[in-house]
Amino acid sequence: MKKTFLFTIILTLGLLMQSCSNNEDEALKPVSFSISVKYDETFNNQITKSSSVTIVNNETGNKYTVKSDDNGVAQFNQILPGTYSVSATKVMQSAEFSDTFGYTPTETEINFNGSQSGLLVNNLTVTVNIVMKTSKVGDFVIKQIHYGGSDTQKGASIRDQFIEIYNNSNTVQYADGLYIAQLYGSFTTTVYTYTLANGQYDWSKSAEMTIGDKANTDYVYASNIFVIPGDGTKYPVQPGKSLVLAQSAINHKSNYMDNSGKSVSILNPELTLDLSNADFEAFLGTFLGDTYQYDIQNPAVPDLGIAYWGNKNKDMILDTNGRQGYAIIKMTNTDFAALKKYKNPKGDATLYLQVPNSAIVDGVDTTKDLGAGFIPKKLATQIDGGTTYLPSGFFSSKSVIRKTKTTIAGRIILQDTNNSSNDFVEITANPRGFN
């Protein structure tokens, strides 16, 4: 009797172990699924033919790209289960736009983008729907962001950070009054009661918010905003030229004296930059009434105006992990002054400025290294359908820079499909340089 009972237990355990093994094998088995791509309601939800659909495994960084067929379907076969990010891009010339939608656009090239984060791919995944949206390509674009900084011991650490904006049009543009924003959002994909399904904050749940889901779809939230000074015609930017906005416009390759009187030595000048010829710098001493130790002012370089300062940073400090977004904003002083401030939905004390998507000229979402997972996007798909990041990581002397698309009569035109995953690459930081 005892032997029979023991045999039954062993048999049961064996079956359970075999079942678990089969389940594990099934969970790791490659699967097939499709992604259906359609334009948004503005274009009557028509199917999107010949769009480039890319999925990226959030853990491994493995990337797969498929073109959507005549039915707007991109078929992915033999894909390992996991969590993926999806981005879809369609670059449409004017003639194709007219044939597809029945009217002639004002632009010669129109860019559509769609995205989804946190897509769980397994044997239950069948069809995923992606909605494609478009927005006008801006005359000013963000060309380069040096947020990673350089070596903390041998270079300049975060002190050589800069943002470069570029006139990508064929006419003179005036930078006077442009706002440059550092955008804020959740740093994690963990879902809480105050977040959306992808881990991004659900701003509709912020205290005193009254506009429902539009708080998430129609706006971004800024921690800090700088403004380029001028009366409207003081700072012309020629076609194919740029402005460099430095944290500190000094030669970071040279030893210097900080604001406390301490001598700072640069052990390896090759790791950092000479920003003494920047067009503007972010000096906060006058605004805050308290000068940061390393916020060295160059009297020969104009200061950026401080339009909004929501956090406690004492300088233009860009997040070295890439967890911010960046935007060029254009609006009147009166409209800007009317913008509202909100706490994040967690209820933290800091107030963030709510900026309408309609005021954004150009935006770039940066993210963490793919190996460490994605940070939820802050910008709407029609502004930036993807993200960019530094494969080399922070303090690597690297920056993200917009790709060169073509050159016409000596003027370089940068790629601007409103999708940073396609438009940006990593280079050694090089103000006014090109990839």
Mean per-residue pLDDT, 126-139: 84
CB contact at 8 A, 166 and 140 = yes
CB contact at 8 A, 46 and 134 = no
The structure tokens 């960019």 sit at 388
Q: Please name which of 384, 391, 399 lies closest in space to residue 435, comparing C-alpha atoms.
A: 399
Q: Give the H/E segment covering residue 51.
A: none
pLDDT at 107 over 90: no
Mean per-residue pLDDT, 98-107: 84
11: how many CB neighbours lie within 10 A of its CB? 10
Residue 186 contacts by C-beta under 8 Å, 6 or more apart in sequence?
Answer: 195, 199, 200, 201, 375, 376
Task: Give the pLDDT of residue 350.
Answer: 96
Task: Give the pLDDT of residue 28.
Answer: 75
Task: Give the pLDDT of residue 316.
Answer: 97
CB contact at 8 A, 202 and 195 = yes
Does 339 or 2 have the greater pLDDT score? Answer: 339
pLDDT at 305 over 90: yes
- The torsion angle over the Cα atoms of residues 299, 301, 302 and 307, rounded to 10 degrees, is -100
Confidence of residue 2 (pLDDT cuts 50, 70, 90): very low
270: how many CB neighbours lie within 10 A of its CB? 11
Domain positions in the chain? 28-134, 140-428
Rounded-to-integer distance, Cα 157 and Cα 148, Å: 9
CATH of domain 28-134: 2.60.40.10
Q: Could you tell me which residues are beta bridge partners of residue 57?
A: 84
pLDDT at 24 over 70: no
Task: Give the pLDDT of residue 11.
Answer: 47
pLDDT at 324 over 50: yes
Residue 243 contacts by C-beta under 8 Å, 6 or more apart in sequence?
Answer: 164, 165, 175, 228, 235, 237, 279, 280
Q: Please name which of 88, 85, 64, 76 lies closest in space to residue 33, comparing C-alpha atoms.
A: 76
Q: Give the H/E segment covering residue 215.
A: helix 214-217
Rounded-to-integer distance, Cα 384 and Cα 321, Å: 19
Which two structure tokens, joined as six digits, stand for 19? 């079942």
Q: Please, what is the average pLDDT of the chain?
A: 91
Q: What is the pLDDT of residues 384-415, one digit of tens each?
A: 999 999 999 999 999 999 999 999 889 999 99
Span between the terminal Cα atoms of the chain, in Å: 79
Rounded-to-integer distance, Cα 57 and Cα 55, Å: 7
Mean per-residue pLDDT, 237-259: 96
Which two structure tokens, joined as six digits, stand for 172? 């003179």
